[in-house]
Amino acid sequence: MTVDRNHSLYRAITEAVMDEIKAHDIELVHESEHYVPVSVSARHIHLAQAHVDILFGKDYTFQKYKDMSQPGQFACKEQVTIEGTKSQIERVRVVAPLRKETQVEVSRTDAIKLGVTAPVRHSGDIKGSAAITIIGPKGKVYLQEGCIIADRHIHMSEEDAKRFGVRNLQKVKVEVDGDKAGMMYNVTVRVSNRYALDMHIDTDDANAFGIKGQEYLKLIK
C-alpha cells in the first residue's frame, strides 16, 4: 500500500511539473547537448609542396604517425626544427595533407622562446604573421610570414551547428570544470560538413585550465 501511495505521489508531482513547463513554454534540453569534446594541439607545421621539396627532397612521401580528429588529417612521423631570432625548437611534427601555403602553429610560450611575434589567427590566415625559419633533413626554408598562434576554435558540421544554435565564425564561451575551473572566451565556431565535432586549444590553454584532451567542455553562447 505504501508503494502504491508513493507511486501516485511521484506521478502527481511529475504531472504538475510537466504542466508548469508547458504553461511557461520552457524548452527541455539534454545536458549532453551543451558539451563538445576537446583536443590539445601541440606545436606543428602544415607544408606546401614547394617547401616539402626543399626540406625533405623532391617527390618525398610522408609516413602516417596517427590520425587526427578531423577527417583526412593525420600527424606524420616526420618532424622539422623551427628557428626564430632567439632560439630553435626541434621535433616539430608535420601534419598532412599538404596545403597551398606553409603554416607554423605555436603557443605563446613557444613564440617567446623563439623570439617571434606571432599573432593569434584562424588557421590559414597568415598574411602579415611572424617570420620563421624551418630546417629539414635536406634543406632550410625562410618564411617572411607564416607563423601564428591558432585561435581557440570548435570544428562542427552544419547539423552540429543547428543543434547548438550557433553559426560559422560566431564567438562563444566555453566553461571548464575541475581543479582549474574557468571560462574560455573568444572561441571561434568553424562550421563545415568536412568537419567532425571537436574543440582545439593549444598547450598554453590546456596547462592553464588543467586539460588533458580527453574531456568534454560546456559550450555557452
Q: How many CB atoms lie within 10 A of CB 101?
A: 15
- Which three cell numbers, joined as nine digits, stand for 116? 617571434
The CA-atom distances, in angstroms, between 100 and each of 46, 48, 51, 93 are 9, 5, 10, 18
With beta carbons less than 8 A apart as the criterion, state whether 76 and 62 touch: yes
Three-state secondary-structure class, residue 52: helix
Query: Residue ranges per domain, the chain?
Result: 31-38+152-220, 42-150
pLDDT in tens, 75-108: 999 999 999 999 999 999 999 999 999 999 999 9
CATH class of 31-38+152-220: mainly beta
**Each residue's pLDDT tens digit, 111-168:** 999 999 999 999 999 999 999 999 999 999 999 999 999 999 999 999 999 999 999 9
What's the pTM value of the predicted model, to 2 decimals?
0.83
Q: What's the pLDDT tens digit per position in 160-192?
A: 999 999 999 999 999 999 999 999 999 999 999
What is the reported pLDDT for 2?
Answer: 37
Three-state secondary structure call for residue 140: strand
Q: Give the pLDDT score at 214.
A: 86
- Asked if 53 and 62 touch (Cβ cutoff 8 Å), the reply is no
Q: Is 155 exposed, middle or buried (0-12, 13-18, 19+ CB in 10 A)?
A: buried
pLDDT band for position 29 (cuts 50, 70, 90): very low
Rounded CA-CA distance 23/115 in Å is 61
Considering Cα of 18, then 20, then 25, then 28, what sign does the dihedral take?
Answer: negative
